[in-house]
Every structure is written in C-alpha cells, then in structure tokens.
Amino acid sequence: MFKDATITQIDEVMKSAQAAFRVYRKISLKERAELMRAIAREMEALGDELIRVAGEETHLPEARLRGERARTIYQLNSYADACERGDWLEARIDTAVADKAPPKPDIRKMLVPLGPVVVFGASNFPFAYSTAGGDTATALAAGCPVIVKAHPAHPQTSELVAGAIHKAVAACQLPEGVFSHVHGQSFEVGEALVNHRYTKAVGFTGSFTGGKQLFDWANQRKEPIPVFAEMSSINPVFLMPEKMAVAAAETARQYAGSITLGVGQFCTNPGLLIGVEGSDLDQFIAVLGAEVKTIAPAAMLHEGICKNYVSKRDEALKQSGVEVVAISGIEPQDNQGIPTVVAVNGDTFINNSVLHQEVFGPYSLVIKCKDIAQMTEVARHIEGQLTATLMATDEDIKNHQALVDAVQDLCGRFILNGVPTGVEVCLSMHHGGPFPSTTDARFTSVGADAIKRFARPVAYQNWSDSLLPDELKNGNPLHIWRTVNDVLSQEPVV
C-alpha cells in the first residue's frame, strides 16, 4: 500500500534532516520540550481513529492500545520535563587557575546533539516504541532531527502518528526536516538509511537478526556510528529454594499471568523459569501447568510473528529431554499463539543452545537443576538479558551470593519478587542489558537517561562568558544542576 522509499528519496530526506539540524540544535531546551508536548497533544487529538487503525493492523485489544497511547503521551511529556530540567546535559565547569604552572584554563563541558537519528520502531508496541515512541522522543530531546522508518506491520498507524508529528513541527515553526517518515519493506531502505553520511545514530527495537544487521552496517561504515538496538530477551526467573518452600503455588499463579500477558509478546516476557528439583518445584510446575491449561490462545500481532512462534515452539518441543508441562486446553484460531510450558533438566539446558533462544510468544521453559551450584552454572550460560528476576527470601539471597552475582551479570534490570513484564517510565528505569539483549549495555531506551544515546560531550576551553551556551554561562540563567569545580550546584559561578 505504501511504496518503499527510493535511494533518491532517502538522500533528499537526509539532506532535509541535516539542514534542519542546523536550526534545531540551536533552539532552547524549553523550545525542544514544547515540540515534544505539542506532539503529545496532536497524538491525543488523533482520537478513536488512531485506536481503530492500530487495532486493525496489530490485532491488539482496544484497552491495551488506549493504555499504550496514554503511556506514549506520558513518555513525551515526561521526557520533555527532563529535557528542560537539563540534568542529562552533564554540565561541568572547571574555572581557571592562573597561578598554577602551567596556568589552568577555564573549561566547561556539556552534551550536544549527535545529528540526524534514524529510528526503526517495533511491531509489538505500535505507539510506545514506534513513530512517536521513546527513541523519537529522546532523540528530539537531545536536539537531533529524527527519520522514522515505518514498521511494515503497521504502516497506516505510523502514517497517522507521523502526520501528528508533522503538525506539531509546523505549529512550533520548526523546519520540516526535524522529522521525516519513510516506508520500506525491503532490506535496501534500512541499509541506505544507516549508511547515509548524514545519519549519526540509530535506534531500533525488534528482532536479533534485524538489530544485529543494523549494528554491523553501522560499524562497517567509513565513519562508524552508534546503534542502540534492543533485541531478544528471554528474561530468566530464578526460583530460589526457601522461597519455593513457602510460596510455590502463589508464585506459580503470579507467573502464569506474566508469561501469557499480551500473548507473550512483551520484550520482558519471562521465558525461562529456573529452580532446584524436588517437591517444591514440582508443586510450582503443577500449579503453573493447571493455570496455563485454562488460558485461552489469542491473536498475535501479525501472521509472520505467529508463524515464527509456531516454528520456534515446534523446534523447542522436539529437542531431546524436553517434556511438556502444559498446553492451553483451548484450540487456537488463525494467527493465535497457544500458551505452552515445557521443562528440561539443567544438564540438558546447558548443553543445548537451541533451548537458549527466544521463542517470541506465550511460551516458557522450566529448568530443573540438581542444586544451587547448577542454577549458578545455568545463570553463567545464559546470554545477556533485559531483565532477570529472583523469587527469593532474604535468607535465599544471603546464602547464595554467587548465584545472585551471576544473575546480576546477565541483566540490565534485576527484579526481586515480582514479574518482569511492565516497564515503568522513570529515571531509574534501565531498559537495556548485556548483548544480545541490546548492542550496548551502557545505554537504556526507557527513562530520560535514554537521551544520552544521542548526544556527545563538547568541552569549551577559554570561552568568554557571553559566547558560551546559556547552559554553561556563569549566571546559570537556566538554573540547571552543574558540577562546578567538582561540586554539584545550581548556583551561579562567582
């Protein structure tokens, strides 16, 4: 329905973004924040039509879509607040010391925008991780123009949201090139966007294959550029022995909901449950199985995702040593994912890498370990993850510190006695993690720290006050927090 952008069109879009960058980088933090808030308002103004179109394209239920739009609007507004507050600028000032040998010059540093950012949205979050999602919002906060490649699974939705952003850009009297929207089903569109000389960073949420390809292209450029790709994650949950002794059934009921939430299509869906074999774990498995049998299959995002679920699940089920714990007792319709829980022992898991791969959908694997030492070994064999969870008592944690450390090493967010699904939008959130959950464990895609993916420090040496950016002027006219001669302060420099 939408034609792929041609190489010529992509070049025009990137030139327009680069031209807009020269203007957009100069506007104040307040003006950037106003653009973000205007986008939030325009997105709200799309009303029921946006929900209807997104529902048709993604098969997500209306309540979920309304919730996700509210979250997206909240993100835009909260990142706008953070943009204005300016903590993310990491402003640092060291004043001159004339009587040092040699004299120490005045040096002041802050983050400045990298330049045009290309964003590849996710199929599973048509609003919050797509066209006006977290990557777009944080790139705009950083001062970077954004070029979104619409996700082919919801191009109409993306087109509507892009229209809202264009309106906001116009209302703020900013150059059109601050935001561009292109379509592309083909490989070549993504490649041309990542390889364009004006592209200075990439944000991506999606599959390992897709994200890794962008990362490789970006690193093979003559001038490599940073890619933040959020990719696969199976979000292991470690069921510790004392906790299981006191709360096996309760934990099982809590997890039956989490592993099937949204037909298992959350990046934080818990796909691995690891415990020590014995009667407590048996009880956990029995209750989990009984619950999962009663959970109805539901429509997945699109046919391709469902096909992929069926084949990955089939591949897992036929591995040696894999036993079925429970499959939903309700027949799936077309494109529905069927809730499934299987189990293996620790040795089988450690020695079969097929079982380490993500099965995107309502599927989880229980690993029955011989003992805590084997749980620790399993933790050391699991690749990097967005989240990991301990279901544990305080005593469990104190008694098994090597396991706790091994679990922390594999994740970006470390949950105690909770479920990983549900990603709070706040500064302390870390939605990132060691490879392959993301391409750089040092950055997040949720929370205002995500702005830092798209900015770099510049140190100004020996500049006179009137020529410095407002953020670094002696008088601190923006009243931001700055580190002045090693001390955090909102005061003017005297």
- Residue 114 main-chain phi, psi, to 5 deg: -75, -35
Rounded distance between C-alpha atoms, residue 89 and residue 91, angstroms: 5
CA 294 to chain CA centroid, nearest Å: 31
Contact between 459 and a second copy per CB under 8 A: yes
> Cβ 276 to a second copy, closest distance in Å?
21
Which are the contacts of 305, defined by CB distance < 8 A and separation ≥ 6?
Answer: 123, 265, 360, 361
42, 68, 84, 230: which is the annotated catalytic residue? Answer: 230
Rounded distance between C-alpha atoms, residue 154 and residue 354, angstroms: 30
> Cβ 437 to a second copy, closest distance in Å?
11
Helix (H, G, I), strand (E, B) or coil at 238: strand
Near a second copy by CB under 8 A, which window of 46-54, 119-127, 346-354, 459-467?
A: 459-467
Rounded distance between C-alpha atoms, residue 238 and residue 226, angstroms: 33
> Cβ 485 to a second copy, closest distance in Å?
9
Residues in 189-218 at the binding interface with a second copy, rule: CB under 8 A: 215-216
CA 258 to chain CA centroid, nearest Å: 18
Rounded distance between C-alpha atoms, residue 348 and residue 240, angstroms: 20
Contact between 105 and a second copy per CB under 8 A: yes
> Cβ 181 to a second copy, closest distance in Å?
25
Residues in 355-384 at the binding interface with a second copy, rule: CB under 8 A: 383-384
Rounded distance between C-alpha atoms, residue 103 and residue 191, angstroms: 49
Contact between 92 and a second copy per CB under 8 A: yes
Contact between 109 and a second copy per CB under 8 A: yes
Q: 94 or 282: whose CB is closer to a second copy?
A: 94
Q: 167 or 380: whose CB is closer to a second copy?
A: 380
Q: 150 or 273: whose CB is closer to a second copy?
A: 273
> Cβ 244 to a second copy, closest distance in Å?
18
| Burial (0-12, 13-18, 19+ Cβ within 10 Å), 380 | middle
The neighbour count for residue 350, using CB atoms within 10 Å, is 19
Which structure tokens are listed for 183? 């379509």
Q: What is the DSSP letter of 423?
A: -
Do residues 139 and 115 lie in contact, with contact meaning Cβ atoms separated by under 8 Å? no
> Cβ 472 to a second copy, closest distance in Å?
9
Residue for token pair 């209750």: 287
Residues in 424-453 at the binding interface with a second copy, rule: CB under 8 A: 424, 426-430, 432, 434-436, 439-442, 444, 449, 452
Residues in 408-427 at the binding interface with a second copy, rule: CB under 8 A: 408-409, 411-418, 422, 424, 426-427
Contact pattern from residue 24 through residue 53 relative to a second copy, giving x for each residue in contact according to CB under 8 A and a dash for the rest: -x----------------------------
The neighbour count for residue 294, using CB atoms within 10 Å, is 12
Which are the contacts of 142, defined by CB distance < 8 A and separation ≥ 6?
Answer: 111, 113, 114, 117, 451, 452, 453, 454, 455
Q: Which of 5, 29, 83, 93 binds a second copy (CB under 8 A)?
A: 93
Q: 62 or 81: whose CB is closer to a second copy?
A: 81
> Cβ 473 to a second copy, closest distance in Å?
14
Q: Which of 22, 52, 370, 479 binds a second copy (CB under 8 A)?
A: 22
Query: Is 267 in the active site?
Result: yes
267, 306, 369, 411: which is the annotated catalytic residue? Answer: 267
Rounded distance between C-alpha atoms, residue 460 and residue 468, angstroms: 8
Looking at the annotation, which residues are catalytic?
230, 267
